[in-house]
Amino acid sequence: MERSDARDAASTDADRADATAGAVSAAAPEAPQPQPLPRRTAESTRSPVALSAPEIVPERDNALPILHCDLYAGTKRYPGLHTVHAARFAFEHHGFENNPWDNAVQFKRRLLDRDAAFDERSGIAADYHFHMDSPEDIGQVRMELERPSCYRISVNGIPVEAAAGTSRLDRHMGAVDITRTLRQGRNTIRLEGRPFSIRMELEPLYLFGQFTVAPHAEGGWRLAANQPLGLGAWRDQGYPFYSDAVRYRHTFTLPDNASRVFMSAPSWHGSVISVTVDGEQAGLLGLERGDELELTSLVRPGAVHTLDCRLSGTFRNLLGPHFDASKPRNTAWPGAWKRSPLEGPPPAEDYDLLSYGLLAPIEIWKIPR
């Protein structure tokens, strides 16, 4: 009984304490919490700086890959084959199950030694066709091809020579100026190799020069007179296969009341933009670095500055794949090229080409003092 009474008394005291605390809490209003001050963002305080019209200069020649050819093997002619399929047919004609460079593993010199079995009755010829407008409007044209030493090469029946190691694309490729051999309309580049060699893996040919690339009515593309680039996608301005860099150069005068200065590229497509101010490196855009740079340390109020934005493309549009219906992005594998249509060339709109280029104007912003 005594222990029970003690517990009841303790419980009563605790209840009274809770009630008292509740009364005090109800009587005392809650202290107001401090509120953060409204922040003035850079967007609310910065204003644009006027830029000159851009000077837009491609760093290298424009390019056109020739992806299709007429293959001659023995008495057979295979017209308009994509080179992926032409190479396979050429190897099959000479006793291979497939293109050995694509589907075989060489033990020592097992594949290379098969060249000893081919005599002068073996071999292939491949005619690559392309069209062009007046050569007088186009200027110099250079051709680059894989392993030129394997073939006798002619353009419109005129022999030409290309030495290996003279191409910037690959050390096994060669380059040759074919300007003097060209004519308005249809042109044909012939590769003829006898006897056959396992090194004769037919690949696309590449034309480089000061021209634009326009759709052709019979499918594929044609060479046309060169035109200056503007803002927008390169592919829509006659540079659909261009893989190098384009410089977008502006001048601007910084106002006297500028405290901080930023530049931005609101819309572009490529691998990276390298930015310089008066020749001094300002930084990179892209590569997960965002699309804005601060230029404050490189500029001074009242001075005229030169802003140079070098936008780099990639080899994707030049090398492909061009016809994979799944339109792969940021990845590629051999099967993507094998999905090319057997014959062609298809219409220009069927090529899968990315929209590299500066799609909206460069902007300069200042934050006033």
CA-nearest of 117, 79, 109 to 343 is 79
Averaged over 231-251, what is the pLDDT?
A: 98
For 353, phi then psi, to 5°, come to -125, 135
To 10 degrees, the CA torsion angle through 342, 343, 348, 350? -30
Kindly indicate the confidence band of residue 199, based on its pLDDT and cuts at 50, 70 and 90.
very high
Pairing of strands 173-177, 163-164: antiparallel
Is a pLDDT exceeding 70 seen at residue 334? Answer: yes
Could you tell me the CATH superfamily of domain 62-209?
Answer: Galactose-binding domain-like (2.60.120.260)
Cβ 251 vs Cβ 304: under 8 Å:
yes
Residue 23: per-residue pLDDT? 40
Tens digits of residue pLDDT in 7-58: 444 444 444 444 444 443 444 455 555 444 444 444 557 899 999 999 999 9
Q: Give 47-60+229-319+356-368's CATH code, choosing from 3.40.630.30, 2.40.50.100, 1.10.600.10, 2.60.120.260.
A: 2.60.120.260
For 260, phi then psi, to 5°, come to -130, 150
Residue 44: per-residue pLDDT? 55
Kindly indicate the confidence band of residue 104, based on its pLDDT and cuts at 50, 70 and 90.
confident
For 150, phi then psi, to 5°, come to -80, -10
From the CA atom positions of the chain, what is the Rg in Å?
34
Q: Where in the chain is the domain with CATH 2.60.120.260?
A: 47-60+229-319+356-368, 62-209
Q: What is the pTM of this model?
A: 0.84
Tens digits of residue pLDDT in 115-141: 999 999 999 999 999 999 999 999 899
Q: How many CB atoms lie within 10 A of CB 281?
A: 10
**Rounded CA separation 131/67 (Å):** 13
Which of residues 18 and 59 earns the better pLDDT score?
59
**Rounded CA separation 26/119 (Å):** 106
**Rounded CA separation 100/123 (Å):** 16
Residue 66: per-residue pLDDT? 98
CA-nearest of 79, 72, 209 to 133 is 209
Residue 266: per-residue pLDDT? 94
**Rounded CA separation 184/133 (Å):** 5
CA-nearest of 103, 187, 105, 201 to 151 is 201
Kindly indicate the confidence band of residue 72, based on its pLDDT and cuts at 50, 70 and 90.
very high
